[in-house]
Chains A and B, each alone.
Chain A
Amino acid sequence: MSQQLSQERVSVWGVRQQRVIVRFSGRAIIWCAMVVLMGIPIAWIMESGATDVFLEATRPDFEKIPVGIVGIANVGGAGASEGRMAVGTRIEEVLKADLRRSQIFSLVDLTGLGVKASELGSEPHLAFKQVAELGASVVVWGKAGIKAEGNETDVHMEAYVYDVGSDELVGGKRYVGSPSVVRLMAHRFADELVFRYTGEPGIARTKIAYVAEQGSARELFVMDYDGHDPRQITADGFLNLMPRWSPDRRFLVFTAYRQRNTQTIDIIELATGKRSTLVSQGGLNITPALSPDGNFLAFASSREGNSELYRMDTRTKVVQRLTVHAAGDLSPTWSPSGRELAFVSDRSGGPQVFLMSADGTNVRRLTFEGDYNAAPAWSPRGNWIAYICRTPKKEYKLCLITPDGQKRVQLTTGPGVDDSPSWSPDGRHLVFSSTMDGKSHIYMINADGKDLERITHSGTHNSAPAWSPAL
């Protein structure tokens, strides 16, 4: 129920950083008692109803760790072919993009150092002692190439990390794999760096499930978090909508149409393509969401007339009705503890975001600003609920609200319909779909509204992104 994670690290530029995250469950009274007990200023965000509280004390002036990448040298054949970069260059490019997106690191230009990655082995260069002058605290270098032995063609990569503050080699990695996993090697190394410096698993190896138009059909796809390597998952020739991940990343649950006439909620195992129907009664069966522990599937169904919320015990298959209201209820999203759900209801006129306990009790309205608020997504850190808000100019934009309703932020502006926000597992980023460039595409944005990045570039319609859990 309760865990405490305390990390201390001496950063390379000699600044001591302390980061304490306490996650616990309890009542507001206990919470307040604790604040008094501590008697120190802390940044805290509290949820009304107080069943799921995250407390995070971070240095408010958290500085990104400046990292200099000498390069990933191309060795041997290096696998450069027509119109294709050598593997070392490709890995370096992917690694830099990952570190930039991580929000943990900033990139420092090391060209002034006069050291080439191709001259380096596994030991730090003497010149690295001077990189502090260039502003770097961490130095990364490595090499990569392709080796063919018999019928086997393998990519080999190795890379090393040097810490300027302690003046020593932190360590390195040596990877081997087929040429198809070149990007994955870079992602893996980026996640190792994030893990080394934050204790978090990183997001570079996460995936995004989404819906892409294929002719007049819409099918499920899964791509890397940076939009690369899309794979088609369904091929029904009709509609498959709103995918959500299982907590172990092995399955997707989604809305499908049987014979084009009735909706079902299906589950597909990614590794095998094996698919079955979980929910089939009634008309509308939409917005499935598995609880963080995988024990419950929450969904909306109009089996008893209008759209209501239900939850299915994934082991016993027992279905329990959660909402009873003549208005439409839909789009459940679980709090990280699995104790609460945010959802959409039009019981007060237009759609608004509501909260309730996971058993359907304690229903209360969360959003009051504007006449259309929908598609909520609860951050894995618990501190924000992202949703789509309709602005006074009738634009559908990405908004955030704290679960106690005290703080609200609009993250995107301008024309186009934003839809379907989904959080990265580290809670630092969101993906969403938007028609801001005309056709619907998938975009990534930081939780602070910075670094908007389009991650799909082809196709006629990409929508409903769902970010996978971390590894």
Chain B
Amino acid sequence: MMTRMQAMIGVPLMVGSSLIMIMVGCATKSVRSGGNMPLSQGEERETGQAVQDLSFSERHGGGEEGLRGLDKNPSEERVGNTVLMAKSDPSSAARQVDEIRVEQASTAAAELRDVFFAFDSFVITEEGRQALSRNAQWLKANQGAQLKIEGHCDERGTSAYNLVLGEKRAKAARNYLVELGVSPSQLLVVSYGKERPFCKEHEESCYAQNRRAHMVVRGNR
């Protein structure tokens, strides 16, 4: 039985929401055909690899896992894991470690210098320009070599924004090298944000080391 108070809330709510349902329903209908529609300006289709067909289930997780409610005479329910998870295969991890070791060795041999940045900044300092001049000489002398410029950040700030900041740092270093006459085809930039820190202490001396464009020799083309 509805109390007067509930009727006061409930009835106008129902009237109001059905009104809105009618008005909005008419206003927002849009039709979009599926399949391979022609692309309009500013659109492109992601290509280059087989992209898996994405079909998300209508029902969350499937009916079997849904709650069945409390029952005065409950029958037995078998409980299984709600999210099945495949075991990951750790074999590729070892390969990466080996490859990183090779990169580190050839980078050390080239004696390239990293560029360091101020907090929240991607402006190349005077010291940074000197480091890049030296790196430019080496790159011109080793035209077959390819350089990967990694943008890194300290741990302050968000993970996502630091990936953008890291890219800005790497690109600032790349652009200066190009200004110095290095062939752009020798240069590759990648941002690691704050995800691969050189130093893990929570202090400024450590942060300063992590705010850098790190030079990695990728070997000869």
Contacts and interface: CB of A to CB of B under 8 A. Distances in A.
Nearest to B168: A328
Interface string B137-150: 00000000000100
A399 interface: no
Contacts of B70: 161, 170-173, 192-193, 196
B220 interface: no
A321 B45 contact: no
Contacts of B76: 174-176
A234 B20 CA distance: 47
B13 A286 contact: no
B15 A216 contact: no
Nearest to B29: A1
Interface string B62-99: 00011101111011111111111111111111111101
Contacts of B84: 270-271
Contact of A278 (B51, B65, B83, B88): B51
Nearest to B90: A235
Interface stretch (A95-103, A127-135, A311-319): A311-319
A3 to B, nearest CB: 9
13 contacts: A2-B20, A2-B25, A24-B20, A171-B74, A175-B78, A184-B82, A191-B67, A192-B69, A241-B163, A273-B87, A328-B164, A344-B161, A346-B161
B24 A25 contact: yes
B30 to A, nearest CB: 11
A469 interface: yes
A-B interface, 8 closest residue pairs, ranked by CB to CB distance from nearest: A237-B93, A171-B70, A273-B86, A237-B96, A294-B56, A177-B79, A271-B84, A235-B90
Interface of B: 3, 6, 8-10, 12-17, 19-21, 23-25, 27-28, 34-37, 39, 42-46, 48-52, 54, 56-61, 65-67, 69-72, 74-97, 99-100, 120, 148, 155-161, 163-164, 167-168, 188-192, 195-196, 202, 218
Interface string A268-282: 011111101111110
A4 B15 CA distance: 11
A170 B74 CA distance: 11
Given A242-B159, A248-B60, A286-B163, 13 more contacts: A34-B20, A172-B74, A176-B79, A235-B93, A237-B95, A237-B96, A237-B97, A276-B50, A300-B160, A300-B164, A346-B164, A351-B161, A420-B160
Interface of A: 1-2, 4, 6, 8, 16, 18, 20, 22, 24-26, 30, 33-34, 37-40, 57, 158, 161, 169-177, 180-181, 184-185, 188, 191-193, 195-196, 201-202, 205, 207, 214-219, 222, 231-239, 241-242, 246-251, 255, 257, 260-263, 267, 269-274, 276-281, 283-284, 286-287, 294, 300, 302, 307, 312, 314-321, 328, 330-331, 344, 346, 350-351, 372, 374-375, 388, 390, 394, 396, 417, 419-420, 435, 438, 463-464, 468-471
